[in-house]
Amino acid sequence: MKKPRNVFHKLTFGAVLSLALTSTATVRAEDTIKVGVLHSLSGTMAISETTLKDTMLMLIDAQNKKGGLLGKKLEAVVVDPASNWPLFAEKARELLTKDKVAAIFGCWTSVSRKSVLPVVEELNGILFYPVQYEGEESSRNVFYTGAAPNQQAIPAVDYLMNDLKVQRWVLAGTDYVYPRTTNKILEAYLKSKGVKDKDIMTNYTPFGHSDWQSIVADIKKFGSAGKKTAVVSTVNGDANVPFYKELGNQGVSAENIPVVAFSVGEEELSGMDTKPLVGHLAAWNYFMSVDTTKNAAFIEQWHNFIKNPKRVTNDPMEAHYIGFNMWVKAVEKAGSTNTDAVQKAIIGLEFPNLTGGVAKMLPNHHISKPVLIGEIQEDGQFVTVWQTNKVIDGEAWSDYLPESKPIIADWTPPINCGNFNTLTKKCSGQNY
């Protein structure tokens, strides 16, 4: 008779324990506001996303030192979706149902965002997404604080076309949704500017591609036809290192054929041998090298928090900085963390960005940003060679794709839709 009693004991103990745990959790939930941080801390994306997790911890810490929010302390709930796309959805569900977070800051790749999207819509959560992306989306529950194509890719092409007089174009990318969509938009844009088919070369490579010999040789051949050529690169992550190395080895210099990249920032450069990259370009909305007092203060805050003066700051970090502060202002304005109230309050809010302009949350849930084009220097920093003279409003739907040209996103009444067709005056059933 010993065994059953033991089981019974264990059961009661377990029940008491779980009761105790839930009660403490409810007590704590009353005096803190929880903020979910959904960034991969392991796996392939950990390289980029760990920094964003630390940025969020720093911002929350700073806000708490200022007295918290609505008289309560903020509490970060950090989860690790491990670069595993379906796990992103599971972790988002966990954050919203179990931890009852007021907002989630997270995701990096588009595929992880697409995986979280149905969850935040179903449970009516809020997601702040800090990375430049391909557009063609606007969800009621997502705020896109990174660049849309018209805030990064299109201005970069304009710069190449007008300032560097580029006539032939290589669109090179990794084979997944972001490069494919971006290149589709760019191709349509280039053709609208009168660039002929034979002057555009498109090329896709698998993730982590390391043998660039024949592709670079092709680019070289393509670029030696006597017209100025540039490469628009949406090559993502690791594959960039062998790509630039091969360009350098085959004698393709930034002066002959410049490469403008949309995924190479300060953080990525810190792990690369920068010699073959010097002079190549990148388009972002923020550079660590931009000389403003706000930026200097931000860099100092980051170095103090991370306790390493060698760490760099980058564009998605600024996006989180803007997104988090906008959310704080929206919660203060609404007087609650209720999703609907925050969504209503945040539209139209303004917050100064780090490079000297003002970011504004637009009705399509994107923000206004300046566009900067920089040349890579040997120390892994950028020298700004061109920038827009004012901030540019993010467009959810590209004007250069025929199917999305008539579509707009507007989350204010009377439209209240992320996918509104201005010709048929209808909101598509799909709400993102």
Name the minimum Å distance from CB 212 to other proteins.
9
**Strand 142-144 to 127-129 pairing:** parallel
**Near other proteins in 268-297, by CB under 8 A:** 270-276, 279
Stretches 6-14, 98-106, 203-211, 294-302: which one binds other proteins (CB under 8 A)? 203-211
CB of 210 to other proteins, least distance (A): 4
Which of the residues 391 through 410 are near other proteins (CB under 8 A)? none
Site mask for other proteins (CB under 8 A), range 367-386, x = bound: --------x-xxx---x-x-
Compute CA distances 249 → 7, 242, 363, whole Å. 70, 10, 48
- Among residues 285, 315, 317, 313, the alpha carbon closest in space to that of 299 is found at 313
The CA distance from 103 to 96, in Å, is: 8
Contact call for residue 300 and other proteins (CB under 8 A): no
Q: Tell which one of 55, 112, 141, 205 touches other proteins (CB under 8 A).
A: 205
Does 210 sit near other proteins (CB under 8 A)? yes
CB 26, min distance to other proteins, A: 37
Select the span of 111-119, 132-140, 234-242, 401-409 touching other proteins (CB under 8 A).
234-242
Distance CA 39, CA 51 (A): 9
Give which of 392, 404, 341, 414 is closest to 153, Cα–Cα: 392
**Own/partner pairs, 272-277, CB within 8 angstroms, 24+ separation:** 272/240, 272/241, 272/244, 272/380, 273/241, 273/245, 274/376, 274/377, 274/378, 274/379, 274/380, 275/248, 275/378, 276/244, 276/245, 276/247, 276/248, 276/249, 277/244, 277/248, 277/376
Contacting other proteins (CB under 8 A), which of 99, 121, 218, 393? 218
Per DSSP bridges, beta strands 32-38 and 103-106 are parallel
Q: How many residues of this chain bind other proteins (CB under 8 A)?
A: 48
- The contact pattern for other proteins, residues 241-270, with x = CB under 8 A and - = no contact, is xx--xx-xxxx--xx--x-----------x
Binding flag, residue 224, other proteins (CB under 8 A): yes
Q: What x-and-dash track marks residues 84-123 binding other proteins by CB under 8 A?
A: ----------------------------------------
Residue where the block lists tokens 């060679």: 385
- Per-residue interface string for the shown chain with other proteins, residues 33-62, x marking contact by CB under 8 A: ---------x-x-xx--x------------
**DSSP code per residue over 22-90:** HHHHHHHHHHEEEEEEE--SSSTTHHHHHHHHHHHHHHHHHHHHTT-BTTBEEEEEEE--TT-HHHHHH
12: contact with other proteins by CB under 8 A: no
Q: Which is nearer to other proteins, 171 or 407 (CB)?
A: 171
Q: How far is the CB of 39 from other proteins (least distance, A)?
A: 13
Task: Report the side by side order of strands in the sheet with 259-261.
Answer: 200-205, 168-174, 229-234, 259-261, 281-284, 372-376, 382-387
Taking the least distance from each CB to other proteins, the nearer of 246 and 318 is 246
Q: How far is the CB of 264 from other proteins (least distance, A)?
A: 13
26 binds other proteins (CB under 8 A): no
Residue choice 206, 335, 348, 406 for contact with other proteins (CB under 8 A): 206
Q: How far apart are CA 202 and CA 179, in angstroms?
A: 11
Q: What residues contact residue 268 under an 8 Å CB cut-off, 6+ apart? A: 47, 48, 237, 240
Least distance from other proteins to the Cβ atom of residue 271, Å: 4
Binding-site member from 2, 214, 293, 402 for other proteins (CB under 8 A): 214
Counted residue by residue, the chain has a size of: 432
Contacts with other proteins by CB under 8 A lie at: 42, 44, 46-47, 50, 175, 203-206, 208-211, 213-215, 217-218, 224-226, 238, 241-242, 245-246, 248-251, 254-255, 258, 270-276, 279, 375, 377-379, 383, 385
